[in-house]
Amino acid sequence: MNRRTAVGGIATALLVAWFRADAQAVPKRAVVGFLSNLSLRDTKWSLDALRQGLEQLGYVDGRNISIDVRYADGKPERLAMLAAELVAAKPDVVVTAGPQAAHALQKATRSLPVVLAVVSDPVGDGLVASLSHPGGNITGLAFQNLELTAKRLQLLRDVLPQAHQIAVLSDVTMGHGAGEREALDAAAALGFNAKVYSLQGAAEFEAAFQDIHRDKAEGLVVLASPMLNANRKLLLQFIAHDRLPATYEVRAFVDDGGLMSYGPSFAAMYLRSATYVDKILRGAKPEDLAMEQPAKFELVVNMQAAREIGLTVPQSLLLRADDVIR
């Protein structure tokens, strides 16, 4: 046997051993739970991104993995029941997003691994001990939404240089994660007189906008909320009726007719969350997996929305935009 043959034989043996170990590490057919704050329709893009990420790692839904989904349809009061259902089904790992769904799962289980595809302040919300050492059964991806709220307010100042009165729309059920105080502080620093209008369901939209109209708000910041996102088309009708320039966290608002959004690429975060699922299925513990933060953020501007409310968007802002909807 020559040296090349010997080395080749050793390499082949190591490769076979690696595949055998790898096959033992991953369940033959893993089950991934998925708890969504939103509806089936509004969840499709995030599920597609997660599936794409899993496929890139060798997992094909329906072949060697299955995804068990629960939808809250934008109703946070349903999350506790859905989380308990999902935990009782005994998946290998659960993927979710946002503090409300995460808290529901945290109350339902302290042992089942949970991957957060999107969350803004997991430490402040008591979900993990720290980003570098989560310390429990929860890990995933996080971003500093409170800092981004200040940037969204700056965008509003860019398009409304003379404005004084603005409204901040908040979902009171978000609790600590709503970011009302931070929004008011950031608004004051930019010379805005801001007022928070809190609500807990779509049934309160009309009354809230009557108050916003009465107070003569010149612009609007919509704080992050699955409930507001789930009801965004109705919300956008009220905003358009009052011809209010508004900024949002989620691009979906802009795709549906809103003016501007600024935030991380949530699709990219869901795609990236698949790597956490993969590591956990191979035996890693969530407590040992440091949470990641996105590096890329997107500014999206809808020029049709701007024209409909008679707003001139500065060219300098358009040049900074990652996408401009004409």
Topology of domain 3-142+266-295 in CATH is Rossmann fold (3.40.50)
| 3-142+266-295 against 145-264+298-325: fold identical | yes
Tell me the CATH architecture of domain 145-264+298-325: 3-Layer(aba) Sandwich (3.40)
pLDDT, tens digit (0-9, with 9 covering 90-100), for 10-26:
434 433 443 434 444 55
Judge contact between 186 and 214, C-beta under 8 A.
Answer: no
Residue 150 burial by CB count (10 A; 0-12/13-18/19+): exposed, middle or buried? middle
Residue 226 has which token pair? 């699955």
Domain spans of the chain? 3-142+266-295, 145-264+298-325
Question: What is the structure's pLDDT at 120?
Answer: 86
Q: Do the strands 138-140 and 114-118 form a parallel or antiparallel pair, or are they unpaired? A: parallel
Residue 284 has which token pair? 């890693």
Rounded to two decimals, the pTM is 0.84
- DSSP assignment of 158-199: HH-TT--EEEEEEEGGGGGGG-HHHHHHHHHHTT-EEEEEEE
- Alpha-helical regions (H) of 109-170: 145-159
As a whole number, mean pLDDT of residues 143-170 equals 92
pLDDT, tens digit (0-9, with 9 covering 90-100), for 93-127:
999 999 999 999 999 999 999 999 999 889 988 99
